[in-house]
Structure 1
Amino acid sequence: MRDDASSVASPSAGGSPAAKRLAAIAERTSGGRMQEEMARVEAILTQVQTQGDQALLELTERFDGVRPDPLRIPRERLAAAWQATPAPLQEALRLAHQRILAFHQQQLPADLAITGPHGEQLGRRWRPVERAGLYVPGGRASYPSTVLMNAVPARVAGVQRLVMVTPPGPGGEPNATVLAAAHLAGVEEVYRVGGAQAIGALAYGTETIPRVDVISGPGNLYVTLAKKAVFGRVAIDSLAGPSEVLVIADHTARVDQVAADLLAQAEHDPLAAAILLTTSEALAAALPAALEAQLENHPRAEITRTALNDWGLIVVCDSLTQAARLSDCFAPEHLELLVEDPERLAEQIQHAGAIFMGPYTPEAVGDYLAGPNHTLPTSGTARFAGALSVETFLRHTSLIRFNREALEATGAAVISLAESEGLHSHAESVRRRLS
């Protein structure tokens, strides 16, 4: 879709066609249809909660056409998948693993210990969750990269038990490279189940699959809605999906590269969004033909065309500042800056899951091996959320130890505050220690 951003003067000026269209794209997974889909998801979750493994077998047979009995893939099968992986792909997986590991090792937070003015001890202690559930999508594509992006930060955090779920393929087995990546990342517990039913299994536990403390990993609409439904019973990383890219480009950008980057996102899913904000009329005019040329003989052309037709957008902006403001209104998952001075423009951006700067930084490098995590906030949630990280798999506990001097110095204030709230025994608990 082509639009004109000339009437947009600030992020709050939401009346332009471009701003309205961006808002509609951001809300593509909400509305009345989503209420119907949520009802379906809740029915699936209830079935899993009440029927356990039997529900997983029946639902997987219904949705995926196979009955995954047994549910668990033997560890020997994971090792065999790694051994059968071609050497160049093994090396690529090792490189990705090394880079992701190195980046996430820098994220480990330090415990905090402070001595107060009266000798009281205050602190914060970090500990990993005991069990983490890793969701790895399947279906339209396979994602060994997602195995690494979820398992590595969990391992760095110190999680002892990783429980991975992934949909079975047409022959009943998940993708072999996904299993190989699990072996490389040290994941020993893998189950052949996907969709909302897999999220239910991780949240509630079944006879075979243990209940976990946190669920991470992106998925389709039903996976995202299921994660939303079980949040509170179990922690989740974010509501990630469907995917999106927003490209800001100026006169220096090559149209074939812009087209390739937009298609790289659109090929994920019919609900994926691909948006160009540009100051170049020539680029905007040339892009449709460039897209069409690269869609010739594209192996995922049907999915890609659907995404572009429904959730694609080209906007011509008066300036890069205006483009940055529009981008912040959308708060994209992936933001590419194909401009002459990307670092300067990045300083103007407030809301984005990840920013890719310059012509040699396609979003694909972030998907696979740059280092930062590729599980990112979508649908505008980058306004308040960030990437999956080591902290996703950690919890922190406050540590407090007062001595008598500290309680005597602060007790009167505690008593006063407690009495102002009408909580008699709160005040009394301090008063009795001071009397």
Structure 2
Amino acid sequence: MSPLSSVTGAAALLFAVFGSQAWAQTCYSYGMDYQNGGSYFINSLSNDAWTFVSQFEGCQTDVANNILVDPNGDELQCTNTNLTPNDVDQMSTCPINKNALYNGAWSVLIISNNGNGDPIAYERDFSLTVGPQATSTYTPTVTLSATTTPLVSKYNEDPVFDESVLTIAATDVTSTTTQTDTTVLAPVTITSPSKTLKPTTTVTPSRVTNTKTVIIGTITSHKYTLFISQTMKTKTATCKTPTQQPNPDPTCKITPTLVKAAALETTTATSAKFRRVVDRRVPADRVQRIAERKARLAAARALEKRAPDVATTTVTDTNTADYVTTTSTSTAPAITLTVTSVTTITSTSTPSPVTVYSGKTTLSVVTVTATTPTRTVTRFTHARTVTTITRTTTVPITTTTSPAASVTACKRLGGILS
């Protein structure tokens, strides 16, 4: 026999003795919705069965036995999951509802003979916070659009009063007083010789004041009101799926009692050295095992809390009286008020001379009544009107629905509906 044949035969014998395990691909498990070292919220108002999702890589065709371990160390056997194909979500359902869970450190044990490969025994530790789902109310803020109009006063010194040049009044209206004052002088007396004396006296009545009001325009101010229209929309909740945890599950620190874990058995068999899970000491004392598990979780609490259940749901307030209103103001072109001045003219009236005749005969004094003096006061004013303008804004009220089929499909993916 040649040396080459001897080497080849030895290799074949070695493979026959140990089988393919020496070169077998390692089988790993990964947590999806609940991952090792994570912290999660559970809705205590839900009576759904508690489930978890795993993915496997490099495993043989077989199933994994799944065991849920509560904070007191008690075990619950969950449904089995397939080890193949690779990176496919496998959901296990446990015989406990969410409303029966409680705060503390929980674990999932994944045990399998892995077909013709090396047996596996993995432990996924996580912490649960159990409580009722809270509801947060969102109150919308609505905007009222208002328009302000600047007001400008323009004074025209044209002495001619022409109402056609007036425009719409603006703010405090400029008012010009127009008056005519007439001063009546004493009559000049002329004496001429005559037989008849005919004295004349002019009496001027008291001045009468007339007031003239001119409306030069109408100022319209706006009062704004807001009408809130609500539109109802319905959307289907979307499933947010988790990403595979970066590291596979660690090997078991807990020895299960419900199933036999070949990977945890102590053996001196030659093939044992090819197993990925090597012999190690597992604390026999249950209290010690629980204490160590809590310590491992406490050390991993730096991870951000995740939420297989949504801790808080948000709804939109439908009572429009609660809405906060803000005002957005824009500026319109200015309105100009033009007031034309009316000039006050003072005139002097000189009556006709009074002729006094001297002579033998003196007649009675004749009293002449002059024209009544008048003063005209012109007041400019404007009319005011208030127009109510209603602005309408629409607030969408969205209701999220979660069909049963969507809930089931999302749960199998290890996701959360939101």
Under TM normalisation by the shorter chain, which class is it?
under 0.3
Structure (1/2) with the larger helix percentage = 1
Could you tell me the TM-score, scaled by structure 2's length? 0.20
Could you tell me the TM-score, scaled by structure 1's length? 0.19
Kindly indicate whether structure 1 or structure 2 has the higher relative contact order, using CA contacts under 8 Å at least 6 residues apart. 2
